[in-house]
Chains A and B, each alone.
Chain A
């Protein structure tokens, strides 16, 4: 009797679970104006912060996570990335070695997914979402973990190249920058291509960009990979991979010595965290031309551009300044012409690295 009950119940559970998956295809975004900003600051040790900035009132709640989760001891150590998928926020905690899942609307804690494999802390780095799953790179065990967003647990681990960092998705393929950044003198320069239907690595593309860090894509399926270089002979650089041929389409060369790239509305924002000249270069990824050698036009000085995000609804560009780490960082909002609109300290946030727009 019990057995047959289970037989009937099991499909039911599966169906129910499937329904709760955040797998709704977002479709072409119809954006409403942002009400506020989530600002992630990595901190120096155990002091990662999720702040909330109310755009209407101009008031920052520096430790919004702490306010919403008063019984928690905090996010933990070295928040490196966060994405919103469906109704949830996934915060990638590098030092604390987990992905912390929050309710996106109010930052209330839902679950912590440990990234600890036996006695090894995997130290996750970046996340991207696709069809009900969140994919997270882990630098220590050189893998991409697949989180099932209904059970909120790791269901698969895909092996990639050494010390993967940034990742981006085009169609049903994912591109992962293998940095190899932990092997001094022999950094990696490949990008792993993962078929998201089979969740397996299908190719490793060799590029001229060493120690790849960030990956982003434009509407034509061009994959931009930026890296630090090898800290010796090879400087920071950017490579463009065609997702159609899965070959390098263009090595951007010495004029694009940037370790970071973000693409919004087919415009690439190239920047360096620490060092380099200028703050941010604007580049049209469709016409392959430089739009503006320096995005900032009003002379605002940024000490260390630690993250750049664009509000695609109104084109406002947020440049996060980590100042003299580990002191408190500052968020700056510019209009699309590079003129500063406002800025605010993200205190107690240290090393702010990402903005998400809450609409």
Chain B
């Protein structure tokens, strides 16, 4: 009875909730046991995995993927503040370039800067976010999924077929502080049980002029300027399910935005005029078919991205500086899995992709115009014994750059191994021990290699070697504490040949060199509790804690030798407490970080203070008839009105709110 009640509640709160369960059969992700709330079980993978599902995401006061991943352990989000501010992820201090972001089966391409701005990825139609260290647990995946130190897997709302209801429409509107407005619509139509179409669209706008405590003594409150944003997203999905073991999917995505680029706060000088416009279009196809003992998976994608940057104050002859970059990628992937026995399976996947970068502005003269051809081949194997599970893969990367002007970057031919294992004394045992080793690298980006004056074509790959050992503990009972989940992982990472920008002739002219080296030791811990209902109140809680010692060991003669990496707190964590009472849901979300330094030198001038952020989310579901659902939402962010910074001189918004209403037909 309790379980049914929980289900009902969840179904009401999240209109797309059951999709999750039904989507399993066409999933490329590990088809692990589906629990009531989870797509994956964090204790079942050999590598640490953390997940937030739609229901959890809706309670996190989060607009973008960047806001949500802050709640994971081991994660550091560099957040420059505001809705339009750059937000990049660094997992276990390896830097943003080492995390691959997978959006519906395929890794997002980011060949120019190498860092995906997670602030641009809206949560509106996201079904789940999963962060895997090393590699996602499944071995039937495109080879590119094995090519990162960690992978953030984003899945958009999957189809749910209901013969009685072929069409689903979901519309919502959120408004809030600083001129925020966010209408969105989702429409899904099932022609029959085989064929569906989904269309999802959204607009986000904000003037972003949030107040902050002025940095100049006695100046009171200042307002962030040039922090406005307008963005638009549209996604179209079509799927044809011949049967449970033969599925074809298409996806087309379009996004554009126009935003101000507020500089850091500069004392006594408020001027800021730089702008950024960008556009992203991709279309991708997916086919997976299962045979008796084997499976095939094919993916193809075309990606186009455009960025326009303008500095209207740049003091050159033209009176402005601008850049218009066009990025294209053609991507093909094939994978084959063979189950030799119930114990042993192996896979081979091969990806080939061509990435190009062109520039079309008045300053494009001398730009290298690189074309990169990458061929990835990966073999993976999995062996599942009664108490021990092994998984390993070996990735071979071949990369070749050709430029129209100047020197080509170096060819890359590298073998990268990953091995992982887990041990569970018995099926009934609540304890599981896991470990992995991965030696991977990130290739120099087009910016690293070819950026006018700064790029250096002699760059080598930047290596990240990871070692991880962890214990997971899961306990279920009929007591007050219905289920408890504990995970703790200790890790050691070593980054060598880290690509860093260093001054060349003066501070105006920098160049990229493979000179960095980092030693990272850390602990990630997660706890989840589900409590027994008391008077119809369901309580659950989640805690994440991260300890990191990430030392710069690049240069023995430097004063920053053996000091903590900039912006890396030793301690950070998050707490989520949820209470569901009938149609009302209340969440309290806390993010915490200890102090950090903005530079290697650990002096007061470089100190960035510890911070805490407290958000409250309230939602109420009106359920008039079976076919209609309405939901009202109030999000109170930074309720204690704390003024804090994640990046020095980029103040974060103080108290702000969002209210929303959504309806499903």
Contacts and interface: CB of A to CB of B under 8 A. Distances in A.
A73 interface: yes
Interface stretch (A13-21, A52-60, A136-144, A263-271): A136-144
A71 interface: yes
A95 interface: yes
Contacts of A180: 317
Interface residues of A, number: 56
Contact of B267 (A46, A163, A186, A347): A46
Contacts of B269: 76-77, 95-98, 116, 121
A272 interface: yes
Contact of A120 (B313, B318, B365): B313
B503 A325 contact: yes
A44 interface: yes
Contact of B317 (A45, A162, A272): A162
A8 B126 CA distance: 78
B218 A46 contact: no
Interface in A74-100: 74-77, 93, 95-98
Interface string A98-119: 1000000000000010101001
A327 B599 contact: yes
A63 B600 CA distance: 19
Tell me what chain A mostly uses at the interface: helix, strand, loop, or mixed.
loop
B560 A327 contact: yes
A328 B321 CA distance: 32
Nearest to B321: A182
B506 interface: yes
B648 A351 contact: no
B558 A182 contact: no
Contacts, number: 130
A348 interface: yes
Interface in A123-147: 139-142
Contacts of A231: 453, 505, 509
A168 B506 CA distance: 22
A46 B215 contact: yes
A317 B458 CA distance: 38
Interface residues of B, number: 45
Contact of A184 (B265, B315, B363, B506): B363
B37 interface: no
A73 B217 contact: yes
A116 B266 CA distance: 13
B191 interface: no
Contact of A45 (B264, B316, B600): B264
A239 interface: no
B605 interface: yes
B340 interface: no
Contacts of A74: 267
B601 A71 contact: no
Contact of B505 (A95, A140, A274): A274
A228 interface: yes
Given A273-B506, A274-B505, A327-B599, A96 B316 contact: no
Contact of A77 (B267, B315, B599, B605): B267
A275 B601 CA distance: 24
B373 to A, nearest CB: 29
Contacts of B504: 274-275
Nearest to A138: B315
Given A46-B649, A114-B268, A119 B314 contact: no
Contacts of A181: 508
Nearest to A301: B557
A49 B269 CA distance: 17
A183 interface: yes
A47 interface: yes
Interface string B549-580: 00000010011100000000000000000000
A343 interface: no
Q: Which of A47, A63, A114, A116 has the most CB of B within 10 A?
A: A47
Interface string A195-224: 000000000000000000000000000000
A302 to B, nearest CB: 13
B430 interface: no
Interface string B318-336: 1001000000000000000
Nearest to A70: B217
A73 B365 contact: no
Given A184-B363, A274-B504, A323-B558, A45 B268 contact: no
A121 B313 contact: yes
Nearest to A75: B267
A186 B317 contact: yes
Nearest to B452: A184
Contact of B316 (A116, A182, A228, A272): A182
A337 interface: no
Nearest to B271: A121
Contact of A183 (B215, B316, B601): B316
Interface string B566-607: 000000000000000000000000000000000111011110
A226 to B, nearest CB: 12
Nearest to B558: A324
B113 interface: no
B366 interface: yes
Given A46-B649, A259-B506, A274-B505, A182 B267 contact: no
B83 to A, nearest CB: 23
Nearest to B502: A324
Nearest to A188: B317
A185 interface: yes
Given A182-B314, A184-B453, A274-B506, A327 B559 contact: yes
B216 interface: yes
5 contacts: A46-B215, A49-B605, A73-B215, A182-B315, A186-B317
Interface of A: 44-47, 49, 63, 71-77, 93, 95-98, 112, 114, 116, 119-121, 139-142, 162-163, 180-186, 228, 231, 236, 259, 272-275, 304, 323-328, 347-348, 350-351
Interface of B: 215-218, 264-269, 271, 273, 313-318, 321, 363, 365-366, 452-453, 502-509, 555, 558-560, 599-601, 603-606, 648-649
- 7 nearest A-B residue pairs (beta carbon): A76-B267, A183-B316, A348-B605, A121-B271, A96-B268, A182-B316, A97-B269
Given A45-B264, A162-B315, 13 more contacts: A49-B605, A76-B266, A76-B269, A114-B268, A120-B271, A181-B508, A185-B365, A231-B509, A274-B505, A324-B502, A325-B503, A328-B603, A348-B603
